[in-house]
Amino acid sequence: MRARTLLSGLKVWNLGKNTWVNRLSNGVSSSVSTHGPQVCVVGSGPAGFYTAQHLIKNVINTFTQTAKQSRCAFYGNVNVGKDISMEELRQAYHAVVLSYGAEGNRTMGVPGEHLDGVYSAKDFVGWYNGLPSCRQLSPDLSCDTAVILGQGNVALDVARILLAPVQMLKKTDITAPALEALAESRVSRVLIVGRRGPLQVACTIKELREMVNLPGTKPEMVAADFEGIAEALKDVARPRKRLTELLLKTALEPPGEKEQQRRNSARRSWGFLFCRSPLEVLPDPSGTRTAALRLAVNKLEGSGEGARAVLTTEEEVVPCGLVISSIGYKSLPIDPAVPFDPSKAIIPNDMGRVTQAPGLYVSGWLKTGPTGVIATTMNSSFDTARSLLEDMGSGALDVSTRKPGSDSIQALLDQRGIKPVTFSDWEKIDQVESRRGEAVGKPREKLLTVEEMLEVSRA
C-alpha cells in the first residue's frame, strides 16, 4: 500500500526507532464543515499532522487530539491516484496540501548492489518496525561484519538495532520476527561509512550519545581520521562543535577505569569510517551473496558544512556480509498535473506554495527533501500552514465559493465501494497492539499485515 492517503488523516510512521504509527499508510484530512474553507492534506505522517494541527489553530500537543477535532476528518487506507484522483480533491477543497513524504529509495548506483545481503535502510527499518510491505525482507544476519553507508540518524538507528542486547530490544516495540532474527544474529561489528569527514556527519548528538553508551559494545575508530579536527572546532557553530567534541572524545581520549572495564567486556564493536565512497559490492564465490565492499578513499575540498568529497585513486576493500544503504530517501511524483523536480525529488515551492499551482501546497520531505529531524518537519509544516492561512486572509486563495469538502470525497468512495479506515478504526488497531504488547512486556506487539489491521479495525 502506498504512502499517500487522503488525510483527513496523517500517515505517521517514522524511520527512526520505536516506529509505530499508522502502518496502514495513506490518508487525507480536511475540515468537516462545508461552510468554511475546505483544506485537504494528503499524507498521514508528521508533516501532514503538523500542518493540520496548525491550520486547526488550537493548543494541541498530540496527533490524536488533532485527528479527533470535529473540524478534522480522517480517511486512512485510501490511495490518492488510484482510489481518488488529484483533480477530484481539488474540486472538493479550496486547498490541497501534499505531505506524503519520501517513499522512494536512493540507489548507490554501483555494481553488485543487487546481491543478496544488500538492503536499503528504508526497507531494513521497515522490516523491524513492522511495515507490511517489508514483512518478507528476512535479512541474513549470519555474517560477522555489517557496513552501513551513510552517517545520519537512520544509519545510527540501524547500527543500534544490529548491536543492541536482545534483552534490551525485548522492551521495545520491535516486531516479534525481527526480534527472533536478531537473537540469532552473528553480527558483531558495524562500520558506519561516510563520504566526508567528522565535521560533516549528519547525525545528531543525541543519536551519537546513545550509540556511545550502547551496552555490550565498544567504539573502534581510526585516529588518523581526526587529524586537525580539534583545531577546526573554533570556527563551527555550537551544535556541530558539541557533536564533534563527543566524536573526538570517543575516538581519541583514553577512557576512565569504569569505561575501560566496560569496553574490555564488550563483545561487539562499531565505528565511523570517514572519507569513503562505495565503488562496488563484491560477491562471494557463488556470485550471489555479498562478500565485501570496495571503497574509494576521498579527499575533502573546502571546509565546514560545504566541504566536498572528491575521489582519489586510492581504494580499499572491506570484507562484510551485510551492506545497508542509508544514503537517503526520495519523494516520487503523485500526478502528472502536479509540478515535480526529478533532480531534487521535491515539489517546487515557495514557502510551501506549489509553483504555478494556486491552491496547492506542500509540506515535509516532499517540500524540502529528506533532511532534518521531527522538529525540522514540524517547523516546516507550520510554515506551510502559515502560508496557506496568509493566502486565505489576503485573497490570494479564493475561499468565497462553497466547496463540499469531505462530504464529496465520502460520496465518491461510497460509489466505488471503498471503505476508508477512520481514526476510531485506527484506535482499535492501536488498542489491540497495545494489549498484545502488554502481555509480553512490550509497549506493543504489532500487527504485520494490512489484512490483519483491517480485520481488527472493522471488528
The contacts of residue 259 (CB under 8 Å, 6+ apart) are none
Tell me the average pLDDT across 54-59: 58
pLDDT over threshold 70, residue 59: no
Q: Is 180 exposed, middle or buried (0-12, 13-18, 19+ CB in 10 A)?
A: exposed
pLDDT over threshold 80, residue 374: no
- CA dist 229 and 223 (Å) reads 11
pLDDT at 4: 39
Least Cα distance to 390 among 148, 138, 54 occurs for: 54
pLDDT over threshold 70, residue 235: yes
Least Cα distance to 426 among 450, 442, 407, 445 occurs for: 450
- CA dist 188 and 182 (Å) reads 11
pLDDT over threshold 70, residue 61: no
pLDDT band at 140 (very low <50, low <70, confident <90, very high): very high
Alpha helix (H) residue ranges in 307-441: 365-368, 374-394, 406-415, 423-439
Sign of the CA dihedral with 229 first, then 235, 238, and 239 last: negative
Name the CATH superfamily for 6-103+330-421.
Answer: NAD(P)-binding Rossmann-like Domain (3.40.50.720)
pLDDT at 36: 65
Most confidently modeled of 42-56, 62-76, 209-223?
Answer: 209-223
* DSSP conformational letter for 67: H
pLDDT over threshold 80, residue 14: no
* CATH 3.50.50.60 holds for 107-327: yes
pLDDT at 41: 81
pLDDT over threshold 50, residue 25: no
> pLDDT over 90 for what percent of the chain?
66
Helices 205-212, 238-252: axis angle to 10 degrees equals 20
pTM to 2 decimals?
Answer: 0.83
Q: Is 204 exposed, middle or buried (0-12, 13-18, 19+ CB in 10 A)?
A: middle
103-134 tens-digit pLDDT: 887 888 999 999 999 999 999 999 999 999 89
Tell me the average pLDDT across 41-68: 68
| Residues facing residue 301 across a β-bridge | 308
157-206 tens-digit pLDDT: 999 999 999 999 999 999 999 999 999 999 999 999 999 999 999 999 99
DSSP of 18-68:
T--S-TT--EEEE-S-SSS--EEEE--SHHHHHHHHHHHTS---SHHHHHT
pLDDT band at 26 (very low <50, low <70, confident <90, very high): very low
pLDDT over threshold 80, residue 316: yes
- CA dist 236 and 257 (Å) reads 32
**Cα-based distances in Å from 105 to 243, 324, 328:** 27, 12, 7
* DSSP conformational letter for 289: B
334-360 tens-digit pLDDT: 999 899 999 999 999 999 999 999 999
pLDDT over threshold 70, residue 7: no
- CA dist 202 and 152 (Å) reads 4
How many other CB atoms are there within 10 angstroms of residue 361's CB atom? 27
pLDDT over threshold 50, residue 22: no
pLDDT band at 86 (very low <50, low <70, confident <90, very high): very high
Alpha helix (H) residue ranges in 166-228: 166-169, 176-183, 205-212
- Which grid coordinates are listed for 323? 551492506
pLDDT at 70: 78
- Which grid coordinates are listed for 29? 484530512
pLDDT at 299: 95
Q: Buried b / exposed e across 184-203, counting CB within 10 Å, b at 16+? A: ebebbbbbbbbbbbbbbbbb
Tell me the average pLDDT across 202-219: 95
Least Cα distance to 80 among 92, 67, 62 occurs for: 92
- Which grid coordinates are listed for 371? 533532511
| Residues facing residue 104 across a β-bridge | 330
pLDDT at 45: 72
* DSSP conformational letter for 255: P
pLDDT at 91: 93
Instruction: With H, G, I as helix, E, B as strand and everything else as coil, classify residue 238.
Output: helix
pLDDT over threshold 60, residue 300: yes
The contacts of residue 151 (CB under 8 Å, 6+ apart) are 192, 193, 194, 201, 202, 203, 272
Instruction: Give the CB-side neighbour count of residue 239, counting CA atoms within 13 A.
Output: 8
- CA dist 234 and 132 (Å) reads 47
Tell me the average pLDDT across 13-35: 36
pLDDT at 126: 93
More confident call, 278 vs 33: 278
Domain residue ranges in the chain: 6-103+330-421, 107-327
Amino acid, res. 415? Q
380-410 tens-digit pLDDT: 888 999 999 999 999 999 999 999 888 899 9
Phi, psi of 57 (to 5 degrees): 65, 40
- CA dist 217 and 210 (Å) reads 11
